[in-house]
Structure 1
Amino acid sequence: MANIIDIFNKYFEMIPAISEELKHEVYKLRYQVYCLENGSKTGFKSPVVHPEGLEFDEDDRHSCHYLIRHREQGNYIATTRLILPDAGNRDYLFPIERYSQIADSELLQSISRHHLAELSRFCVSKEFRRRKNEPHLLTTIDTDSGLRIAQEDKRSSSHLTLALFACAVKMSAENNIHYWYAIMEPALMRVFSTLGIHFVEIGPLLNLYGMRQPCVIKVDDLLDSVAKKDLAYWNMLTNNGQFPGTASNLHRVKNLVNHL
């Protein structure tokens, strides 16, 4: 039986958006998801604000991006970014620091800003959030759709979500990032928890295009927790331990799993 990586790679591919052309595709997809598909629901982004059909902001200047492309159709259907620390600007604040009240804690005080980034713009095209008549396609859970996903479908519905996290893990390894900030909808945090991904709340809920939770997570803790949940998920997040920096964790992960 094919594993989830083989199935994913059959239908999709993860592509680093390192060229201006690919970044243009990132901004187009974000415009589609945030301005056209969800803008009227959340007030997050108005198409009027982006008449050129691209959604981007000042933080994209020092962010890295990934796209997920559907092989057969040839279109880009998911994207995420990692906002990196601005080495040239000591006063730079991440969006979470600009928009929320973060509690002072020993955890945050122990994190070097050189190894801290913010995960954001985690999105999937509406077309691929749920494909009722194509069970072979890997889809993500649409928390806004109100659809009730059958128990037997939940496993396959997680794969695009895992793939986006895999992109973030790879970007983190390549940029020496050990922790992620994030501002998330509580419903999305609950979805991630079902995969073994547990973000730590670091401040009160804020009203930022809907109620959202400031949080943080250590990448190694995420990988360990996912391995305990399902080793196949860990393999998906690390490409079987082949992403930079993840192979060295394989022995520890196997020990974690063996002692469950």
Structure 2
Amino acid sequence: MTNTIIDHFDQYFEMVPAISDELKNEVYKLRYQVFCIENEIFNPELYPDNLEYDDFDQHSVHYLIRHRKSGEYAATTRLILPDPNNADKLFPVELYCQIDNVAEMQPIDRKHLGEVSRFGISKAFKKRKNEAHTLAAITSNWQDYFTPDERRVFPHLSLALIACFIKASYENDIHYLFGAIEPAIFRLKSHLGINLIKIGPLTNYHGNRRPAVIKITNMLDCIAKKNMGVWNFLTNTGGVGQARPHEASQTRKTQ
């Protein structure tokens, strides 16, 4: 039997919901490494405890991707949920980007709207064989630490983060997703068949980003039509949809 994306990924990595305070600290620690040190998006001097977090984290769902062999956390993302104490609280996209496609936003019930944020992968897990950096706490050359098969799986980390926020969306009754999207992510998602709806112009928000929104069921339908292997990976072969059968895609049922 041919190994699937799921088989390859699960052999080396696991998706970890950060539901404990200890795991949330791992999220904030990795975000500090990725966003403050490696990419210099945020000023590290503003985070003296080496943990990057903000007030949106109080009403967010957090995920980590863990490398099984080393125990290191390779990637993280969060899904910002509506604030249960303030239904009108704006999401970061609304605060820091210009939203001018009002027609796309009007039909959306805000209690079913979330924002994907802090989508980050450690540089140690983006490196190819002969590049210089190593993982923290690993003394040997990192290319000797990882097998060739493990290195081939590393591109799946972005797909795994997408799978994490899809799962978080289904578990929290989120139907639509906001995001401030880098041009490179637009290209990746277009390649997968994901048609993000642009709702504003490019904005200098931690680099050039464009606000976008998408309905999750539409996104999964488009992916299923283009690549069922990717759809299976993102939805755990449809398992994420079982919690909301009324939202299940006819495309998924017939494949």
TM-score, normalised relative to structure 1: 0.85
Residue type of the alignment partner of 1:49: L
Q: Is the 8 A contact 1:185 1:211 kept in 2?
A: yes
The whole-number CA distance in structure 2 between the counterparts of 1:12 and 1:237 is: 14
Q: Which runs of 5+ in 1 are unaligned?
A: 140-155
Spell out the pairing of 1:183-194 with structure 2 (5 A cutoff): 183-194=180-191
1:105/1:65 CA distance change after superposition, 3 Å: same
**Counterpart-to-counterpart distance in 2, 1:46 and 1:88:** 30
Among 111, 115, 134, the alignment partner of 1:114 is 111
Q: Return closer, same or farther for 1:246/1:222 CA change in 2, 3 Å cut-off.
A: farther
Conserved in 1, the CA contact under 8 Å of 2:97 and 2:205? no
User: Which residue does the alignment assign to 1:101?
Assistant: 98
1:253 aligns with 2:252: yes
Of 228, 236, 240, which aligns to 1:243?
A: 240
User: Is the partner of 1:55 in helix, strand or coil?
Assistant: coil
What is residue 136 of structure 2 aligned with on the other side? none
Name the residue aligned to 1:151: none
CA distance in 2, matches of 1:110, 1:245: 25
- Structure 2: runs of 5 or more not aligned: 130-142
Percentage identity across paired residues of the two chains = 52
Pairs within 5 Å for 1:70-219: 70-132=67-129, 134-137=147-150, 158-219=155-216
Task: Give the AA of the match of 2:12.
Answer: Y
- Quote the Cα distance in structure 2 between the aligned partners of 1:220 and 1:103: 24
Q: What amino acid sits opposite 1:65 in the alignment? A: H
Distance 1:128 1:29 in 2: 12
1:18-29 map, 5 Å: 18-29=19-30
Structure 1 counterpart of 2:8: 7
* Mapped contact 1:8–1:138 kept (Cα < 8 A): no
C-alpha distance 126-172 of structure 1, shift in aligned 2 (>3 A)? same
2:222 alignment partner, SS class: helix
Deviation at residue 159 of structure 1 after TM alignment:
1.4
Count of equivalent residues: 236
2:29–2:52 CA contact under 8 A, matched in 1 = yes
**More moved, 186-195 vs 209-218:** 186-195
Root-mean-square deviation over aligned CA pairs? 1.8
Tell me if the contact between 1:138 and 1:159 (Cα under 8 Å) persists in the aligned partners: no
CA contact (8 A) 1:241 1:250 kept: no
Give, in angstroms, the shift of residue 59 of structure 1: 0.6
Matching residue's letter, 1:30: R
Task: State the one-letter code of the partner of 1:84.
Answer: L
Name the SS of the counterpart of 2:179 in structure 1. strand
Structure 1 runs, 4 residues or longer, greater than 2 Å off: 104-107, 130-135, 244-255
Q: What's 1:36 paired with?
A: 37
- C-alpha separation between the residues in 1 aligned to 2:103 and 2:27? 36
CA distance in 2, matches of 1:239, 1:22: 23
Letter aligned with residue 22 of structure 1: L
1:244 deviates by: 4.2
SS in 1 for 2:220: helix
Q: TM-score, normalised by structure 2?
A: 0.87
Report the Cα offset of residue 243 of structure 1. 1.8
Cα separation, 1, equivalents of 2:101 and 2:15: 36
Q: Structure 2 CA distance, aligned partners of 1:246 and 1:2?
A: 27
